[in-house]
C-alpha cells in the first residue's frame, strides 16, 4: 500500500494490501518488458499484457495506455500499457491526493498505487447519453478549472456514476493541476 508522506502526497510503493506479492511481481515483469511493444497497437499490447500477467481477475476494459481489471471487491486495477499509462497512473494518484477537496469529491477515489499500477474504487460506467449528462460534464469541467485543474481528455467515456448518482471522473490521468503534475514531466 502507498504510504502517506506529510499527510498530503503518496509515495509510490510496490506493496499492496489488496494485491499479492506474486501479482506485484507479474506487474513488474510486464512493466520491465512493456517498451518492447512500443510499435504495437493498443489491442496487441493488451493481449500481450494479459498473457504476461495471467491474472484471475476479469479484464473489464482497456484504452491506448492502460488495461483495467475488476478486483471483485469494489475496486479496479489499472495497469500501464505504455509510458503514457505509467504517467497517467502516477498523475491520478498525485492529483487525487493533492487537489482541493471540492474537486476531489468528483474524482474516482484512489486506494493504492505502485510502479505501473493503480487501484481505484469501481464505479458504474453506464453513462446515459442525455442532455443533462452533457450539462453535468460541462459543470465538472468548470469545477476543475475553478480550482486550477486543466481537465485534459474529460469526456463521457471517462466518467461514471457514484452510488448517489453523482457523475465522477474515473480517468483523469492527463489532467494538469500544477507544475508538479507527473503528466508535465512527460511533455517537458
Residues 99 and 13 in one domain: yes
Give the mean model confidence (pLDDT) for residues 133-159: 91
CA separation for the pair 148, 99 (Å, rounded) = 9
What is the rounded average pLDDT of the residues 47-51? Answer: 93
11 pLDDT band, cuts 50/70/90, is: very low
Average pLDDT over residues 117-142: 83
Per-residue pLDDT tens over the stretch 56-71 = 999 999 988 999 999 9
Cβ neighbours for 78, distance < 8 A, ≥ 6 positions apart: 66, 67, 68, 85, 88, 89, 117, 118, 119, 120
**By the 8 A CB rule, do 15 and 25 touch?**
no
What is the span of the domain harbouring residue 149?
131-183
Q: Is residue 172 part of a domain?
A: yes
**Edge-to-edge strand order for the sheet containing 58-62?**
58-62, 66-70, 75-80, 117-121, 110-114
The reported pLDDT for the residue numbered 187 is 57
Count how many Cα atoms sit within 13 Å of the Cα of residue 150 in the half-sphere of its side chain: 8
- Burial class from Cβ neighbours inside 10 Å (0-12, 13-18, 19+) for residue 14 reads middle
Residues 85 and 162 in one domain: no
Query: What's the pLDDT at 164?
Result: 83
Q: Are residues 171 and 99 in the same domain?
A: no
Cα-only R_g, the chain: 16
C-alpha cell at 33: 518488458
Same domain, 77 and 101: yes
**Residue % of the chain over a pLDDT of 70:** 87
77 and 143 fall within a common domain:
no
Residue 51 domain-assigned (yes or no)? yes
Within this chain, do residues 174 and 108 fall inside the same structural domain, yes or no? no
Are 10 and 58 in a shared domain?
yes
Q: Does any domain span residue 188?
A: no
* pLDDT value for 18: 94
Are both 135 and 98 inside the same structural domain?
no
How far apart are the C-alpha atoms of 60 and 57, rounded to whole Å?
9
Based on the fold, state whether residues 43 and 69 are members of the same structural domain.
yes
Q: Would the pTM count as exceeding 0.85?
A: no
Find, among 120, 15, 134, 128, the residue nearest to 71 by Cα.
120
Average pLDDT score over residue span 141-164 = 91
- Total domains in the chain come to 2
Q: How far is it, in rounded angstroms, from Cα 29 to Cα 26?
A: 5
| pLDDT value, residue 8 | 40
Amino acid at each position: 500500500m502507498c504510504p502517506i508522506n506529510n499527510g498530503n502526497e503518496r509515495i509510490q510503493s510496490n506493496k499492496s494490501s489488496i494485491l499479492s506479492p506474486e501479482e506485484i511481481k507479474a506487474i513488474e515483469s510486464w512493466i520491465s518488458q512493456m517498451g518492447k511493444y512500443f510499435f504495437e497497437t493498443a489491442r496487441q499490447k493488451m493481449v500481450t499484457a494479459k498473457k504476461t500477467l495471467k491474472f484471475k481477475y476479469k479484464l473489464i476494459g482497456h484504452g491506448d495506455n492502460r488495461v483495467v481489471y475488476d478486483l471483485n471487491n469494489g475496486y479496479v486495477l489499472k495497469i500501464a500499457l505504455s509510458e503514457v499509462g505509467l504517467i497517467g497512473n502516477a498523475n491520478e494518484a498525485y492529483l487525487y491526493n493533492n487537489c482541493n477537496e471540492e474537486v476531489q469529491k468528483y474524482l474516482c477515489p484512489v486506494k493504492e498505487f505502485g510502479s505501473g499500477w493503480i487501484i481505484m474504487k469501481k464505479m458504474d460506467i453506464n453513462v446515459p447519453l442525455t442532455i443533462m449528462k452533457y450539462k453535468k460534464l460541462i459543470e465538472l469541467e468548470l469545477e476543475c478549472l475553478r480550482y486550477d485543474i486543466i481537465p485534459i481528455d474529460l469526456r463521457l467515456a471517462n466518467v461514471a456514476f457514484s452510488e448517489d448518482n453523482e457523475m465522477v471522473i474515473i480517468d483523469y490521468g492527463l489532467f494538469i493541476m500544477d507544475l508538479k503534475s507527473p503528466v508535465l514531466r512527460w511533455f517537458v
